[in-house]
Chains A and B, each alone.
Chain A
Amino acid sequence: MPSVHYIDSSGHEVEVEAAEGMSAMQAAVDNGVAGIDGDCGGNAACATCHVFVDPAWLDRVGPADPDVELQLLELAEGMQDNSRLACQISLTAALDGLRLHMPAAQF
């Protein structure tokens, strides 16, 4: 069961245990983590699960998929190099301990 840490914009941190293969969006929504909405249900059709991958984890998580995520992230506010759609991050054992930062608000 990989664990993931969600850190909000004021630094408050929540740790969640996720099922193997679950998306980081689903893990947040299922556990009532405030700051991630997932309005489209995980279909890369909105940008309300926008997260910033902690720099220490960026290599392991990888950058936003140009075909699927990039455009939606660009149209959201405050996109950075470490921006991802949480619904496109699959939580595997390799990502156990992952740290994701959340924007002040979803857009």
Chain B
Amino acid sequence: MSPQDLAQIDPYGIPLDAIDVSNPSLYQQDLHWDYFKRLRQEEPVHYCADSPYGPYWSVTKYSDIMMVDSDYHRFSADKAVLLDTARLVGEKEDSPSLAAFIAMDPPEHDRQRKAVSPAVAPANLVRLASVIRERTSRVLDELPIGEEFDWVEQVSSELTILMLATLMDFPVQEKELLSYWSRMIAGTPGDGLMESLEQRDHVLRQCAARFLAMRAERAATPPANDLVSLLAHSPHARDMSVEDYCANIFLLIIGGNDTTRNSMSGGVLAFHDNPREWAKFRTNPALVDSLVPETIRFQTPVIYLARRARQDAEIRGKMIRKGDRIAMWYISGNRDEEAIENADRFIIDRARPRQHISFGFGIHRCLGNRLAELQLRILWEEIARRNWSRIEVTGQPVRAYSNAVRSIDHLPVRIHA
């Protein structure tokens, strides 16, 4: 279907049964909103009988998403977090798998998550704050004023890939390689970079080889606070299979990177579209405290994650059968008017900005959430300090072809002094 065809479809004009929100083009074209508005209103727990990934249920209400997300007894994450199972576990037996602890249930989930959580624990964040600020300041100082450039390339990507390199103690001079690997992990076949899962397998094997070598090196040196050293030295890590180690690395590469990048870019776009909010921020830079979670809510960098029912379950009168897959549409939960007042509006000083569903809930709740907030806070503090009158978005944002990551790949801007 051509982009024009998709834009022609009236989300309220087709039968409810015909709605399939798993189409990556919907998110690339930013056309998903009304489908979810309709579902929340008319069929908040919705069954799609036929999709490219097979049949699946959707939960679209904030409270239902929170419930499913938190109830790992009934709704398993085991190799179930993406509807596209091939993209999650790989196409072939020996394909590199992305099914890290995000796609595991307790007790294994807990063991593996605890192995890496010290990297982003509050004490470590305090340590990271000064390098983040120094870097952010440098990047912002190097930006052209009055001239068009790509905010994603020059700021969002640059800052987040450097953060990732620091977290993993990966050589900064090889950041392009890390960035490439990140895009190949998070990508979807047909998105313009990833041609096929076979190509991805090939690239991921190279990434895996490098990180396995790093693990061996770090295992032989005293424990440090980077993610690789933590994985190498953790009591459980010694028993961690090669496959699990690599999957965890892949997860940390995208979890620690893409998401924050998109919240940064999304914030710039949101301010452009809402000049009164920009004026509020300029008048009162202390609003950074509430603006940071609001940008994370408004962007919703992770569009959905999925579960598999371990037993029959009823939600809002709908019978979910054991074995059925359920997609939790964070992108919809974050716009649920029953949970969030004026949910469709970007409001940087709302009363309860931290009540959003972008990080998920329950035991799988985003491990890096505080680190993401720290990076975003420092970015907006440093922007406020420079007192630019405006960051103008000068062209259409280019969004990624993906149903899983809500990514802005290019954002042409011009800074007005």
Task: Out of A43, A71, A104, name the residue touching B66 (CB < 8 Å).
Answer: A43
> Which one of A37, A45, A74, A105 lies within 8 Å of B361 (CB-CB)?
A45
Q: Which of B82-90, B110-118, B140-148, B232-240 contacts A (4 or more CB under 8 A)?
A: B110-118
A15, B121: Cα distance in complex, Å = 28
Beta-carbon contact of A105 and B122 below 8 Å? yes
In the complex the two chains form, what is the Cα distance from A72 to B110 in whole Å?
10
Using known A-B contacts A72-B363, A105-B370, determine if residue A45 contacts B66 with beta carbons closer than 8 Å. yes
A43 contacts across to B, CB distance below 8 A: 66, 70, 361
The reply to whether A46 and B370 contact each other, CB–CB distance below 8 Å, is no
CB-CB nearest in chain B for A77:
B121
| CA gap between A8 and B122 in the complex, in Å | 15
B385 within 8 A of A: no
Q: Chain B residues near A71 (CB, 8 Å)?
A: 106, 110, 363
Task: Give the total of B residues in contact with A, Cβ under 8 Å.
Answer: 21
Please, what's the 1-or-0 string for B97-119, where 1 marks a CB less than 8 Å from any CB in chain A? 00000000010001001100110
Decide: B66 and A37 in contact? CB cutoff 8 A: no
Which of A38, A41, A75 is close to B363, meaning CB atoms less than 8 Å apart? Answer: A75
**By the criterion CB–CB under 8 Å, are A39 and B355 in contact?**
yes
B70 in complex: contacting residue of A45, A77, A104, A106, CB < 8 Å: A45
Cα A3 to Cα B33 in complex, Å, equals 45
Verify if A57 is at the interface (C-beta below 8 Å from B).
no
Q: Which residues of B contact A46 (CB under 8 A)?
A: 361-362, 365
B 331-367 contacts with A by CB, 8 A: 354-355, 359, 361-363, 365
For the complex, give the distance between the alpha carbons of A62 and B123 in Å. Answer: 28
* Majority DSSP secondary structure for residues of B touching A: helix
Contact pattern, A 44-86, Cβ under 8 Å of B = 1, otherwise 0: 1111000000000000000000000001101101100000000
Q: What is the minimal beta-carbon distance from B71 to any residue of chain A, in angstroms?
A: 9
- Known contacts A45-B70, A45-B361, A75 near B122 by CB under 8 Å: no
Which residue of B114, B123, B354 is within 8 Å of A39 (Cβ)?
B354
In the complex, A79→B69 CA distance in Å? 22
B361 touches A77 (CB 8 A): no
Per-residue interface assignment for chain A, residues 4 to 46, with 1 indicating a CB less than 8 Å from any chain B CB and 0 otherwise: 0000000000000000000000000000000001111101111
Query: A75 touching B354 by the CB < 8 A rule?
Result: no
> B61-104: which have CB < 8 Å to A?
66, 69-70
- B70 nearest CB neighbor, chain A only: A45
A78→B70 CA distance, assembly (Å):
21
Distance of B349 from chain A, by nearest CB (Å): 15
Contacts of A38 in B (CB 8 A): 354
Please name all residues of chain A whose beta carbon is closer than 8 Å to the beta carbon of B70 when the two chains form the complex.
43-45
Task: Tell me which residues across on chain A come within 8 A of B113, comparing CB atoms.
Answer: 75
Complex contacts, B118 vs chain A, CB 8 Å: 77
Which residue of chain B has the shortest Cβ distance to A29 in the bound complex? B352
Task: Report yes or no: A75 in contact with B121, Cβ–Cβ below 8 A.
Answer: no
**Chain A proximity mask over B174-210: 1 for CB below 8 Å, otherwise 0:** 0000000000000000000000000000000000000
Q: Is the CB of A77 within 8 A of B122?
A: yes
Question: Is the pair B355, A75 in contact by a Cβ cutoff of 8 Å?
Answer: no
Return B197 CB to nearest CB of chain A, in Å: 32
Given contacts A71-B363, A74-B110, A75-B363, contact A40 B117 (CB under 8 A): no
Closest Cβ of chain B: how far from A17's Cβ, in Å?
21
Smallest distance from the beta carbon of A41 to chain B beta carbons, Å?
6
Q: A45-B66, A45-B361, A46-B361 are in contact. Are A107 and B114 (CB under 8 A)?
A: no
Query: How many angstroms between the C-alpha atoms of A75 and B123 in the bound complex?
Result: 15
- The interface residues of chain B lying within 8 Å CB-to-CB of A45 are 66, 69-70, 361-362, 365
Q: Within 8 Å CB of A37, what residues of B? A: 354
Which B residues are in CB contact (< 8 Å) with A41? 355
B378 to chain A, nearest CB (A): 15
Q: How far is the CA of A72 from the CA of B123 in the complex (A)?
A: 19
Q: B122, A40: Cβ atoms under 8 Å?
A: no
**Which 5 pairs from chain A and chain B are nearest by CB?**
A45-B361, A105-B122, A45-B70, A77-B121, A39-B354
Given contacts A45-B66, A75-B363, A105-B125, 17 further A-B contacts (CB under 8 A): A39-B354, A40-B355, A41-B355, A43-B66, A45-B361, A45-B362, A45-B365, A46-B361, A46-B365, A71-B106, A71-B363, A72-B362, A72-B363, A75-B114, A77-B117, A77-B118, A107-B370
The interface of chain A, by Cβ under 8 A from chain B, is 37-41, 43-47, 71-72, 74-75, 77-78, 103-107
Listed by A's residue number, 13 A-B pairs whose Cβ atoms lie within 8 Å are: A39-B355, A39-B359, A40-B355, A43-B66, A45-B66, A45-B69, A71-B106, A75-B110, A75-B113, A77-B117, A103-B122, A105-B370, A107-B122
Which residues of B come within 8 Å of A, CB atoms? 66, 69-70, 106, 110, 113-114, 117-118, 121-123, 125, 354-355, 359, 361-363, 365, 370
